[in-house]
Structure 1
Amino acid sequence: MINRFEWAFGRYLLAILFIAGTAQKAINPDPAQELLVGFGLPEWLVWPALVFNALAASLLIAGKFLRAIGWALALYCFVTSVFHFVPSDPWQMSIFVKNWALAGGCLILSAASVSRT
């Protein structure tokens, strides 16, 4: 059986990360836009990413659609990890690995959501 406190606290901790991503993109979108442009993508993609981060955080906090949002966040973390695959830069590689770990946590959230319904 899943402990309610752990279940909620874990979701809130994940949500904080995506709230921070929302705030970073809103306050200073330039670094994210430069990253996108560096990969040949349009800089305006930062705005759908901001909306997705905010929506995902809100759903995590509310505890709604957790199976779907767990999968969506896992995919988002896998995709965005590509931007940080820079073997010559230990800091970027730590972000790359962090994104994969977050994807794993989001998949666990999704799987645990099935057992709660």
Structure 2
Amino acid sequence: MTSTTTNTVLLAARIMLGLLFLISGFGKTGDVAGFAGFMASGGIPAFLAWPVVLFEILGGLALILGFQTRIVALALGAFCLVSGTLYHFDPADQMQMTQFLKNLALTGGYLSLAVIGAGAWSIDGLRGGQPAHA
């Protein structure tokens, strides 16, 4: 792949994977109390609702901009894996298993970005971060 192709694909991946968290985080701001109750149903303390909302918004934004991409991608991937396991792993419910597998696939995408990096068209790239390895 050419450098331009690699950077285009990495930018598209960052935007798509970052939008997931950015939109999800902003969506939760309309009913944080309801989200806190949902978190508590999975054994996570309700007081962590706002930190999770902020994590989603800031993590999504950082990924889109390509800021600290490797670290952010690892954190978002871990979040997908843990939340998918806690809230969606239910072999008796096909819909929940589909959600679990979606989270598992997203984790793979975030891990790929963590290994490859943000590419040149990012804050990391502008700051002289490690180049992408495709």
Q: Tell me the TM-score normalized by structure 2.
A: 0.77
- Give the drift of 1:30: 4.7
Aligned length: 117
Preserved CA contact (<8 Å) 1:33 1:44:
yes
One of 10, 15, 27 as aligned partner of 2:13: 10
Aligned partner (choices 46, 53, 56) of residue 53 of structure 1: 56
- Distance in 1 between residues matched to 2:42 and 2:103, nearest whole Å: 18
- Tell me the residue number matched to 1:80: 83
Between Structure 1 and Structure 2, which shows a larger proportion of helix residues?
Answer: 1
**AA of the residue aligned to 1:100:** L
User: Is 2:107 the counterpart of 1:107?
Assistant: no
Report the more deviating stretch, 61-70 or 2-11: 2-11
Shift of 1:115: 4.6
C-alpha separation between the residues in 2 aligned to 1:40 and 1:71?
23
Question: Comparing both chains, which one has the higher relative contact order based on Cα–Cα distances under 8 Å and sequence gaps of 6 or more?
Answer: 2
Runs of 4+ in 1 over 6 A off after TM superposition: none
User: Taking structure 1 as the reference length, what is the TM-score of the superposition?
Assistant: 0.87
CA contact (8 A) 2:81 2:103 kept: yes
Check the 8 A contact 2:19/2:64 in 1, yes or no. no
Whether contact under 8 Å (2:88, 2:99) holds in the other structure is: yes
- Superposed CA deviations along residues 1-37 of structure 1, whole A, max 9, x for unmatched, are 5522111111000111001210221123355323222
- Identify which range, 71-80 or 30-39, moves more after superposition: 30-39
Distance (whole Å) between structure 1 residues aligned to residue 71 and residue 31 of structure 2: 29
Q: Which has the larger radius of gyration?
A: 2
1:38 alignment partner in structure 2: 41
Gaps of 5+ in 1: none
Structure 2 Cα separation of the partners of residues 35 and 87 of structure 1: 20
Question: Could you tell me whether the CA contact under 8 Å between 1:25 and 1:46 is conserved in 2?
Answer: no
Instruction: Report the counterpart of residue 116 of structure 1 in structure 2.
Output: 132
Contact 2:18 2:64 in 1 (8 A): yes
For residues 70 and 33 of structure 1, do their structure 2 counterparts lie closer, same or farther at Cα, with a shift above 3 Å needed?
A: same
SS of match in other structure, 2:44: coil
